[in-house]
Structure formats: C-alpha cells, structure tokens
C-alpha cells in the first residue's frame, strides 16, 4: 500500500497527536480523495505492528459495506470483519471490525478489547450529547482504559453549531487538514465548472427553521410546473455530452415531477431514489446508474454522503440549502476521477454557489440568511458562469463587470466563486505545519502548510538543498523568521521549526492568478523572532524523526 504524500502526512499527524495529546483528533480530507487508504494504514499498523484491535464505525449500511470492501482491497494483509444485524454479519473476532454505531453501541463488552475506534463521516455525529457515540467508548474503556478515538470527514462543521471539534465535544482537535484546491492542482481531484440555472426561484421569502429552509415550503416553491419544465430542458441541453448526471431534488413530489418531465417531454429515463425506498430497489437503481445504463438519477436527501460513482460528470442541485456541509457534499459527488472525465459540470438551480461561495473555501455562515453583506460569488449576465466575486471580467466569455461602488469601510480581503482564484486574499493563520517534502529526481525541501480555515490549507516550499537563486531566496526567507543559522538540509530546517526556532505567523496574503496552477503566498504578518539558542540546548528526541515522516519507533505504540 503506497500512500500519497498528503495521506502519509495525515497518518503521521494522527500518530503525533496520539503521542502528545490525550484527546480525540479528527482528519479532514476532501470527498473522493482518499480517507480510506489513511484509515487502512492505521488499521494495518495497529493490527500487524502493535497487535492491536480496531473498530471502524460507518454511519449507514451502504457505507459500511463500501468501507469494508475498500479497506480489504487497499489492505488485503489484514482481516476485516463486519458487524451489522441488517446483513446478518456478526464478526467479533477479526482484528479490525467494521460496524454501524447502531449495531454495537450497547454491546461494547461483548467484543475483545479495542485499542482504536475510527469514525468515518464524523460530521454525521449528532451534536446534542453525541448519544451512542459517547456511550460505546465509555463502556469500551471499562475493558481498555487506553482506548483512543479518531474521526474522519470532509466537512468538519455543522449547520447550527459550527466546528465538530470542540474542547468539550466528542472530537476535540483537527490534527490534519488538506483542502480541495491543493488536490485539484496535482490532479488528485476532478475540477468543477459551474453555471447558474436560467429557471430561478425567489428564495428570499423562504422560512428558516433550525438554520435550514423549511422543507415543505421549499417543496411548494420548487415544484412549480414552469420551473421544473424549464430546468429539465436546460439540464438536457447542458448535459448532452455528459455520461452520468446526479440530480438533487427538494422533495419526493419534486423528484417524481422531474422524472415525469424528463420521460414525457424528452424521452429520457431518470431513476429516483427517495429516502424511504426499500433496500432491494435502492440497490438495483444504484447498480443500474453505476453501470452506465442509466444516465440521469434524481435523489431526495440520500446520496450526499459516501455515495461512490466516479463517472458522475454533472451534478444538478435543484434545491437550495443553507447548510454549507450539504452544499459541499452535493457538489463533492463529482470530485472523483474517472477515465475520459475532464471535469464535472455543476448546474446550480438553488443559488447555493452564490450563497456559500467557493467549494474549496466552504464555511459556516456567521450571519442569518437574508442579512446584508457581499455575496461570495457572482453570476455573469452573459454566459451565467458562477465566478469569484473579485473578477472584473468574466474568464469564460470576457464580459466586463461595472466597477463596484466601494465605501471606505470595505474589507481588503476578497471572496471567491465555485473555485477560488484570480484575486488577492489575506487569511488569518490558525496553525502551521512543517514537513520534509520528497520528490523523485529533485532535492528535498521543507513543506510549510498554513491552516487558514476548517477546510483550507495554503502551502509553500522552502528549498534549502537547492543552489543559486533558489537558495538565495530561501536564505532571505529564513533570516526574516529566525536568528539561527540557515539550515543546509530540509530535515535540519524541519527540526528547528518544530523546536520553536521560527517566528509565528499571524496571517498570510495569497495571490491567485487565472491560468496558474498554484496560488502564491506573497506576504506575511510575522510574530516575534525567538532568541537564538545553541543546538546543544535542543532536546535530543527532536532529531530522532523529521516531522511529517510516516514513521513510528519500532516498538512504540502511538496511543
């Protein structure tokens, strides 16, 4: 099992957390880009290196089977068992058990002691008391007081309560996070392109309850004959060359209406998966869609988490949502790579891109719906592309936007569209991570990751082992941050950085330019530079392992 560099960094961050803290960490990796190999490596290390036992919790039946199958394929040297009453599978003996929390939360003492619990799709853990998720570890610690819990998610926030990681919560700290854009650029995720729908409803008068639009009001608004027929016609026109189109409907009536219009007026078969569909019918429709025999599939509140169909090349949100997490999960169905798939088209009829902004900078709203403030994206009136709010010209058709009327209180930092870009943005830095970056055929460098949001990391590379101009630039970079001598190697730089020999970073300024693969960090607000110390004063263990290396001492169990 060969991990990508960010997956290795995630595993290393988990082990570092388990060694140095006594609370529960969370790993944040975007939809469709490899939580399973990270989980598999942790399961393998636990079972084969440390003779430990692991419980993997998946939230629903389909995800449970999918998780067990993926773990087995990625890591065939470990035996994975399944415990789920609905499948009549009750394996208690395998070193790694995949289960639903509903099946095991009252049975902790019926299993051999677990050392680790891995919670997949951790954002689905309910916020109020965490119920079953708290009960199982509490009882499991009766037989093993050293049990540790690790969460995995793509969206580490809830609509009403914000971050899922809090000091008093079930999960306490994001130990590793990599953002969407950082994985699209090297080709690990499929790019998204987006347009707004012509058929628009007026969402401004929708009632809000518990932080989300009231479902029956949305259904009544969106199930208008003209809206449905116009939207279906536009979907058909826009997806003629697409292979698989996933539609998110606002309710069962709306979903049935879409299926009927696509069939009667366009002669196209469209499947429908509502939440109450019997399992046998559900499986049959999904298999029909995955096989490529069914091009259009509508669903109602079910295919937003963990649904795996890599060939999806068009996502159609025919519903509005105030939930940043639900918005991300809907468009994230198109992130997976597939042969012949150049990008995924998002046709947004729900105003979600304009409401929430860039999918690579999703965040929980800080003001109630309807209050003022600049929209995080805007629509081109010529071609309907949804683009960054900071654009002066549409990058799709060249339309020139009229200059905005600015007040003296306008913020300097800009906001972005479906994928952020082409603007200069200042971010407050929450955490900084240093690791050794290895690239085949090139000298090593020090990778610096700045966590600037729940789901956003900006990175740069300090090339200490290069020569000439590049070495001169890193010399200047280091001198602004430290009184220590400039390191000769990346390992030495990481060791010094981990030992606190660099100034803290309060904020960074990032420039995104159309046509360039990577953002550039062009400015920093630095903290105080630490006073110089002799290397002999550094703790000896600081030189044992470079931060970010996927290594643990041979006999050391990280938890």
Residue spans of the domains in the chain: they are 5-181, 192-365+374-403, 426-543
What's the whole-number mean pLDDT along residues 6-30? 93
Alpha-carbon distance values, 111 to 72, 91, 319 (Å): 21, 9, 44
Contact, 223 vs 253, CB < 8 A?
A: yes
Tokens 């219009």 sit on residue: 261
Q: What's the start-to-end Cα distance of the chain, in Å?
A: 22
Q: Return the pLDDT at 379.
A: 67
Q: Return the pLDDT at 406.
A: 40
Based on its alpha-carbon atoms, the radius of gyration of the chain, rounded to whole angstroms, reads 25
Q: pLDDT band for 423, please (50, 70, 90 cuts).
A: low
Q: Which CATH topology does 192-365+374-403 take? A: Rossmann fold (3.40.50)
Fold identical between 5-181 and 192-365+374-403? Answer: yes
Flag the least confident range among 395-404, 420-429, 456-465, 543-552.
Answer: 543-552
- State yes or no: pLDDT of 221 exceeds 80: yes
What's CA 379's distance to the chain center, in Å? 25
What's the whole-number mean pLDDT along residues 445-472? 82
Contact, 223 vs 254, CB < 8 A?
A: yes
Helix (H) or strand (E) holding 285: helix 279-290
- State yes or no: pLDDT of 25 exceeds 90: yes
Q: Return the pLDDT at 412.
A: 32
Q: Return the pLDDT at 143.
A: 87
Flag the least confident range among 17-31, 121-135, 415-429, 470-484.
Answer: 415-429
Q: Return the pLDDT at 473.
A: 83
Flag the least confident range among 194-208, 319-333, 427-441, 446-460.
Answer: 194-208
Q: Return the pLDDT at 14.
A: 96
Contact, 262 vs 272, CB < 8 A?
A: no
CA dist., res. 302 & res. 322, Å (int) = 17
Query: pLDDT per residue over 340-391, tens digit each?
Result: 999 999 998 888 888 887 776 655 544 444 433 445 566 666 655 666 555 5
Q: pLDDT band for 185, please (50, 70, 90 cuts).
A: confident
CATH pick for 5-181 out of 3.40.50.1480, 3.40.640.10, 3.40.50.300, 1.50.10.10: 3.40.50.300
Q: Which residue has the higher pLDDT, 233 or 85?
A: 233
Q: Return the pLDDT at 116.
A: 96
Max avg pLDDT among 64-68, 75-79, 304-308, 467-471 = 75-79
- Average pLDDT of the residues of the chain: 80
CA dist., res. 344 & res. 190, Å (int) = 7
């Amino acid at each position: 099992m060969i991990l990508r560099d960010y997956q290795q960094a995630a595993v290393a961050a988990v082990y570092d957390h388990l060694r140095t803290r006594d609370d529960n960490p969370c790993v944040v990796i975007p939809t469709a880009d490899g939580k399973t190999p990270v989980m598999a490596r942790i399961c393998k290390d636990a079972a084969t290196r440390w003779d430990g036992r692991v419980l993997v919790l998946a939230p629903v039946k389909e995800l449970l089977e999918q998780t067990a199958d993926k773990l087995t394929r990625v890591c065939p040297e470990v035996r994975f068992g399944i415990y789920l009453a609905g499948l009549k599978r009750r394996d208690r003996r395998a070193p790694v058990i995949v289960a639903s929390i509903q099946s095991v939360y009252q049975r902790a003492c019926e299993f051999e002691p677990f050392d680790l619990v891995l919670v997949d799709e951790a954002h689905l853990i309910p916020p109020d008391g965490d119920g079953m998720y708290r009960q199982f570890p509490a009882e499991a610690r009766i037989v093993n007081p050293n049990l540790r819990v690790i969460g995995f998610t793509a969206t580490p926030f809830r609509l009403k309560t914000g971050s899922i990681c809090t000091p008093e919560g079930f999960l306490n700290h994001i130990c590793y996070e990599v953002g969407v854009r950082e994985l699209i650029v090297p080709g690990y995720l499929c790019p998204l392109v987006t347009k707004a729908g012509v058929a628009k409803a007026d969402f401004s008068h929708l009632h809000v309850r518990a932080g989300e639009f009231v479902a029956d009001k949305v259904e009544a608004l969106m199930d208008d004959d003209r809206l449905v027929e116009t939207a279906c016609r536009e979907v058909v026109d826009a997806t003629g060359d697409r292979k698989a189109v996933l539609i998110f409907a606002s309710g069962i009536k709306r979903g049935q209406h879409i299926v009927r219009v696509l069939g009667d007026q366009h002669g196209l078969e469209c499947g429908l998966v509502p939440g109450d569909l019997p399992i046998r019918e559900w499986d049959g429709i999904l298999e029909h869609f995955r096989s490529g025999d069914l091009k259009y599939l509508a669903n109602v509140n079910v295919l937003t988490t963990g649904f795996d169909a890599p060939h999806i090349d068009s996502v159609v949100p025919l519903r509005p949502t105030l939930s940043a997490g639900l918005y991300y999960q809907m468009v994230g169905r198109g992130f997976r790579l597939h042969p012949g798939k150049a990008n995924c088209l998002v046709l947004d009829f729900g105003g979600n891109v304009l409401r929430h902004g860039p999918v690579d900078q999703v965040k929980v709203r800080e003001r109630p719906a309807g209050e003022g403030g600049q929209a995080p994206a805007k629509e081109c009136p010529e071609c309907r592309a949804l683009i960054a709010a900071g654009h002066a010209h549409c990058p799709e058709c060249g339309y020139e936007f009229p200059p905005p009327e600015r007040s003296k209180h306008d913020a300097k930092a800009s906001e972005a569209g479906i994928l952020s870009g082409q603007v200069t943005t200042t971010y407050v830095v929450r955490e900084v991570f240093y690791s050794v970056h290895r690239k085949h055929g090139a000298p090593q460098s020090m990778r610096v990751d700045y966590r600037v949001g729940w789901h956003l990391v900006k990175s740069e590379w300090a090339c200490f082992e290069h020569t000439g101009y590049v070495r001169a630039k890193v010399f200047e970079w280091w001198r602004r941050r430290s009184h220590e001598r400039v390191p000769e190697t990346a390992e030495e730089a990481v060791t010094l950085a981990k030992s606190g020999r660099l100034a803290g970073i309060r904020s960074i300024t990032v420039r995104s330019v159309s046509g360039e693969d990577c953002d550039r960090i062009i400015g920093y607000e630095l903290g105080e530079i630490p006073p110089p110390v002799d290397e002999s004063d550094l703790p000896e263990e600081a030189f044992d392992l470079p931060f970010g290396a996927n290594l643990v001492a041979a006999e050391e169990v990280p938890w």
